[in-house]
Structure 1
């Protein structure tokens, strides 16, 4: 977002010019002075002055000419996104994922650690630490290079980052996750509900880009939902928005059992693969698997139709691990919603899959960094 001028003297104008140039370079990549001037609306001499100042501060660097370039190419400049780093965490019931990204949110490395819902708390916390250490090592960085760590996890999360309630992982209930992460990692820490982070990823880089109002269905071995209102993920007064799965009548909490306990699943199939086997069999036309998918879609439609009737969204996004089988799941869900809703929204499949939460955590950290440091009323930080 390019900042707008709101009063002030020459120093204020210079600050806004700097932020305008940073925003343009972050959005468009390497630019010549002329191209940057065109994007910012500044004169070329003013653009040169701003770029020189940003280079002195360490936020902008000149890019080398491409190999094979003939003659003297125009100088091109880019934002030094690698001058700081961000970590995103997805702390789920069955997996812990960590990702390292630059300040523009470009992911550099990722790691995953398997856990189970009944994994003891100390082992779960150790897995978090190992996942972060692993992605840092793969990216050639240390925790001292990290500016913000954003974590998404299952359960009802208080605004302060404490897990108020978690049905899927009982040991998680009451745990001060933000406090623990702050003691563990010497950087700024953010904690948010995983489904809301997944919805944020869809809004930033997925199926809900440029969508004002959307319902996000986080479908997998457990169920979560989130809502986007006026282009922003809605947290609610107590940061508990979207927890419709907590209502038994919504039939969302146990819906995945239809896919995970289907008779077509061979004996001995690992629980992580059970639903995938059912969905593959349904795709192949197996009548038992197709019936299980119909039952799943029927349960999914109850809570989804309630959200659609309440919010009247433009889009419903099917995301999470099961979204890889959207070709099987969306047709029966669409048929059920057509019968229940006054107006059927556009149903879309996510392309982010299992990476939705960790990607949303990175996007959450980028947005927080922007709010803290790249706005007209915030001090520009010093690159590392």
Structure 2
């Protein structure tokens, strides 16, 4: 095909229109015309072509002003559906959306403390229930992205670095889920997905190199270099929970000052114990940090000690990577707010040469599931519309041949609807 052929130009314009509709929601013809830079007749022809192909559909009228109301157009969400899942030791949280990004339903279910058969059955049952709630059939999902603690080995598909997630180790996790759900499945580290969400809608939107830290039980980190998530040879990049670091807190809580597991210093129990050493009582690390903000001198000293512990582990990452930004995310970080972030930044500057700013992550609510949803949509939009997936697209695990992955979900089928 010649570079300037009419067919190629139509494809380019069609993709530009679809991207604009996905990014901005329902648009009138004139609004779309302004966004993609085509003439009025060319935009009208484009919409007619896409409507005939069932790619876009009419979506009500835009009111306002004294003139006639204008027709709105949107992407046909029914072309494909995805599931986003946040998997934790306690629960599975599922969201179903169509290809336009419209959320159709949410479903949360408890996870059993059992073996592989029990957890797989509970997981698939939750996804099936959510799919049914969305009014879809059992084979309607085009892609599923699961945010999970730990990391999937790209060579074997086995989940590692997640001893607190019983029942999920020792087998090809995305492969097994793919077989049980009968659809392509991606399993991505939960903190990586939070970093992805920060790149899409948070503080890292215009940052190329950054580290996101999630201080909590089983502390995690995500590393982004030149806009791409770094996963490592075995998928374990950012798994800093087992890093051996000294306890730099001033208050004595009986830890080994010469070196201990980073995750042990920042577990909820360890934070509660540190707070108690400063005269503050709380039932969890989250509440201890919240309480400290209004506890005067004792609260401030506790937060400084906590910042010393966080900085001790983050320093190793910053000294090697020299990122533009360190983001603190998760329940503990949000509880401490900008006060804790500033204290971590001050302590970090005592340990490393780079003057890396430390800020509070912007995305709250359900960032793991939101990142999983954006990842699933990126994969499916590439398949259906030919839109280039972001460089942050998650690892899909060991893959079967495309023809065997799910015969019921092919590009040709979608184009022929």
- Post-superposition Cα deviations, 1:82-121, rounded to whole Å, max 9, x if no partner, equal 43221111112333221122224343432333447x5443
Following TM superposition, by how much is the alpha carbon of 1:339 offset from its aligned partner in structure 2, in angstroms?
A: 1.2
The reply on whether 1:183 has 2:179 as its aligned counterpart is: yes
Which is further off, 203-212 or 321-330? Answer: 321-330
The reply on whether 1:136 has 2:148 as its aligned counterpart is: no
Distance change in 2, residues 1:165/1:318 (3 Å): closer
Distance change in 2, residues 1:6/1:247 (3 Å): farther
Following TM superposition, by how much is the alpha carbon of 1:148 offset from its aligned partner in structure 2, in angstroms?
A: 0.9
Residues of 2 paired with 1:51 and 1:154: CA distance? 44
| Consecutive unaligned residues in structure 2, runs of 5 or more | 247-260, 390-410
Partner of 1:22: 18
Partner of 2:375: 364
Report SS of the residue matched to 1:254: helix
| Consecutive unaligned residues in structure 1, runs of 5 or more | none
- Among 350, 353, 361, the alignment partner of 2:361 is 350
Following TM superposition, by how much is the alpha carbon of 1:292 offset from its aligned partner in structure 2, in angstroms?
A: 5.0
Report SS of the residue matched to 2:264: coil
Report SS of the residue matched to 2:142: strand
Q: Is the 8 A contact 2:95 2:104 kept in 1?
A: yes
Q: Is the 8 A contact 1:90 1:151 kept in 2?
A: yes
The reply on whether 1:296 has 2:292 as its aligned counterpart is: no
Which is further off, 92-101 or 199-208? Answer: 92-101
Residues of 1 paired with 2:9 and 2:92: CA distance? 45
Q: How many residues align?
A: 373
Distance change in 2, residues 1:214/1:154 (3 Å): same
Which is further off, 315-324 or 255-264? Answer: 255-264
- Among 144, 164, 167, the alignment partner of 1:168 is 164
The reply on whether 1:325 has 2:318 as its aligned counterpart is: no
Distance change in 2, residues 1:291/1:135 (3 Å): farther
The reply on whether 1:157 has 2:157 as its aligned counterpart is: no
Partner of 2:198: 202
Q: Is the 8 A contact 1:217 1:318 kept in 2?
A: yes
Residues of 2 paired with 1:175 and 1:377: CA distance? 31
Partner of 2:408: none
- Post-superposition Cα deviations, 1:3-61, rounded to whole Å, max 9, x if no partner, equal xx982633222222221211122122222223322222223222222211111111111
The reply on whether 1:259 has 2:271 as its aligned counterpart is: yes
- Post-superposition Cα deviations, 1:106-162, rounded to whole Å, max 9, x if no partner, equal 43432333447x544333223322332343344343443321100121123122632
Report SS of the residue matched to 1:279: helix
Residues of 2 paired with 1:233 and 1:377: CA distance? 17
Q: When the two structures are superposed, what TM-score results if normalisation uses the length of structure 2?
A: 0.79
- Post-superposition Cα deviations, 1:272-292, rounded to whole Å, max 9, x if no partner, equal xx2222123212317766555
